[in-house]
């Protein structure tokens, strides 16, 4: 009963809000939410309704609660008579996973050192870069951005987003169904989409502001340096950039540019 009441109360907050910002973490949602609130809008924000993807790390137990939560909110959201506007964002999956890694860096390092006694391999003490790389590759759930739509968005909203055309050049698409208006935005194009957002939400004006710049965090210098030295394998790049998620939202040129960014470190 408590779980139903919690989800029902969140649904009420969605219906009272001007929109639902429903997107995976580290895709620019804080900046977008801040910008919209500065325009006087009420924003209900959610990354995960369920447990399938809420666990950021590999090999963590997932209870039944997440599936029940998703079923409750799916039923309630799709049976309301009120029209709901939803915005979600997508991002280069490798860059997104790196951003998530540093956002949870203390836990990443802790979990990595639990698996590597004394931080040593073959008698050699690992450098901090090596520990972070190890954590990124083997501790983080790398498939989080690749299947977020399938396990979260599509199920909750009853929309198969990857079956709808996406304008890779313009960087957005609008999907309308029953009582839902859905706007999917590409983070890399977000600064060019102010007019799209303004029109979608029927605003008189809209200006994109910055809220969570990585340069403001305690790890900003380390993050910047790591990105300049990070050397992912070709197998890893191929897995991420040939995925259904990546090829649906990004053009061949964009994907090649993403890969070139990481290859230059090799």
**Quick one: average pLDDT of 183-189?**
98
Angle, alpha carbons 16-17-20 (nearest 5°) = 130
Q: How far is CA 217 from CA 23, 100, 193, 213, 224, in A?
A: 22, 13, 26, 8, 11
Is the per-residue pLDDT at 175 higher than 70? yes
Which tens digits make up the pLDDT trace of 213-235? 556 778 889 999 999 989 999 99
Query: What distance, in Å, lies between the first and last C-alpha atoms of the chain?
Result: 54
49-63, 178-192, 212-226: least confident range: 49-63
Phi and psi at 122, nearest 5°, equal 55, 40
pLDDT averaged over the chain? 88
Beta carbons within 10 angstroms of residue 119's beta carbon:
16
Give the per-residue pLDDT at 122.
Answer: 80
User: Does the pLDDT of residue 107 top 80, yes or no?
Assistant: yes
Res. 212: pLDDT tops 80: no
**CB-CB contact of 182 with 157 (8 Å):** yes
Least confident of 117-131, 176-190, 205-219: 205-219
Residue 67: pLDDT band (50, 70, 90) is confident
In this predicted structure, what is the pLDDT of residue 37?
A: 96
Six token digits for residue 219:
């790890």
Report pLDDT for 53.
44
How far is residue 205 from each of residues 45, 139, 192, 194, measured CA to CA in Å?
21, 43, 14, 9
Place 200 in a pLDDT band, splitting at 50, 70 and 90: very high
Structure token pair of residue 138: 């083997």
| Cα-to-chain-centroid distance, residue 82 | 27
Q: In what order do the strands lie in the sheet with 180-186?
A: 43-46, 19-22, 84-90, 180-186, 172-177
> What does the pLDDT look like over 7-35, one tens digit per residue?
667 778 888 899 999 999 899 999 999 99
Instruction: Please state whether beta strands 84-90 and 19-22 pair in parallel, antiparallel, or not at all (unpaired).
Output: parallel
Closest listed residue to residue 93, CA positions, set 46, 49, 48, 144: 144
More confident residue, 58 or 114: 114
User: Which of 2-11, 126-135, 241-250 is modeled with the greatest confidence?
Assistant: 241-250
The DSSP bridge partners found for residue 182 are: 86, 175
Instruction: Check: CB of residue 247 under 8 Å from CB of residue 100.
Output: no
Residue 192 in this model has a pLDDT that exceeds 80: yes
């Amino acid at each position: 009963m408590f779980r139903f009441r919690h989800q029902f109360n969140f649904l009420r907050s969605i219906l009272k809000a001007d929109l639902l910002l429903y997107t995976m973490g580290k895709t620019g949602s804080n900046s977008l939410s801040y910008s919209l609130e500065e325009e006087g809008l009420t924003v209900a924000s959610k990354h995960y309704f369920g447990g399938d993807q809420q666990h950021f790390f590999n090999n963590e137990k997932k209870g039944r609660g997440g599936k029940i939560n998703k079923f409750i909110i799916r039923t309630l959201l799709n049976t309301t008579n009120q029209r709901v506007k939803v915005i979600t964002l997508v991002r280069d999956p490798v860059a997104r996973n790196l951003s998530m890694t540093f956002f949870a860096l203390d836990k990443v390092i802790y979990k990595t050192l639990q698996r590597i006694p004394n931080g040593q391999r073959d008698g050699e003490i690992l450098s901090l870069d090596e520990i972070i790389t190890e954590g990124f590759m083997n501790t983080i759930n790398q498939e989080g951005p690749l299947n977020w739509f399938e396990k979260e968005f599509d199920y909750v909203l009853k929309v198969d987003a990857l079956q709808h055309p996406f304008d890779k050049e313009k960087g957005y698409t609008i999907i309308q169904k029953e009582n839902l208006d859905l706007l999917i935005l590409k983070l890399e194009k977000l600064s060019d989409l102010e007019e799209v957002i303004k029109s979608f939400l029927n605003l008189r004006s809209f200006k994109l502001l910055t809220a969570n710049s990585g340069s403001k965090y305690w790890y900003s210098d380390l993050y910047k340096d790591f990105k300049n030295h990070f050397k992912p394998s070709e197998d890893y790049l191929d897995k991420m950039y040939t995925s259904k998620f990546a090829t649906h939202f990004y053009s061949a040129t964009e994907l090649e540019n993403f890969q070139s960014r990481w290859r230059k470190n090799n």
